[in-house]
Amino acid sequence: MNIAESIRSRRSVRSFDGKPLSNEIKEQVLHFANGADNPYGLPIRWRLLDVKAQNLNCPVITGAETFIAGKMQPAPHAEEAFGYAFEQIALYAVDLGLGTTCIAGTMDRPAFERAMELEEGEVMPCVSPLGIPAAKMSLRETMMRKGVKADSRLPFEELFFDGGFDKPLSKDRAGGLAEVLELVRLAPSAVNKQPWRLVVGPDTVYFYEKKSKGFTAANGWDIQKVDMGIALCHFALGLEAKGGKAVFTLEDPGLTHPGDTAFIAGCRIDGVDA
């Protein structure tokens, strides 16, 4: 796939045309999902769910007959692993002409968890509808997108920093890495909070989560870390598209950072000049 084109064209879709997907398309998506990796090596099991047959309800979605969902065992970095794998699937869906959106709360979660047949200790982080986008958005979707300013993103200099948080990074200074960082800037996130903050060093980019209140569940699950996994995925795919290679590290560089941020991961920028 042309990763830059897929990322730029993708949007969160909540209104679908109501037509069922062909078995061929379903098989393609599930086959791809089962092969989606993550830099943490954590296993995720994916399933396609039938809205009518399994009596599923998600009030913010209209016209979707199929959902895709993943389940996994809780583990360190499970949220980032899930987001990383999920975004690969979402971008693959774009190439097939399908729409998706990541949903964690606005659904009948008990019904979805029953459909996923969760085993002891397993969690189902998020689900997504899967289908052909409707020709026209529903009024609810239009209002939701307007409410979170879904089509806007924070400026480049507010998300990316040059060597430390005290120095914003300009596109000119980013050099060959600017295109890759722009793909990160365009990543989707819960309520469009855009929690990623990246510090670009000489040979490594460090990812930090800017935490917002209300995104951590009672069980400790942090939905914004799923967003961080999506950002990591965009970065890795962007590097690969430019002939580079993503090499992840969990070694904290010990940089001074704002109190509302936390280190997530580092990524060496082998093969792409910053």
* Residue range 60-100, pLDDT digits in tens: 999 999 999 999 999 999 999 999 999 999 999 999 999 99
Kindly report, residue by residue over 28-68, the tens digit of the pLDDT: 999 999 999 999 999 999 999 999 999 999 999 999 999 99
β partners of residue 222: 216
190-245 pLDDT tens trace: 999 999 999 999 999 999 999 988 777 766 778 999 999 999 999 999 999 999 88
pLDDT of res. 137: 87
CB atoms within 10 A of CB 53: 9
Q: CA dihedral in degrees (4, 203, 188, 234; nearest 10)?
A: 40
> What structural domains does the chain harbor?
3-141 (3.40.109.10), 156-270 (3.40.109.30)
Q: What is the DSSP track for 241-255?
A: HTT-EEEEE------
d(Cα 143, Cα 159) in Å, to the nearest integer? 26
Q: Quote the pTM value.
A: 0.94
**CA-CA distance, 128 to 61, in Å (whole number)?**
10
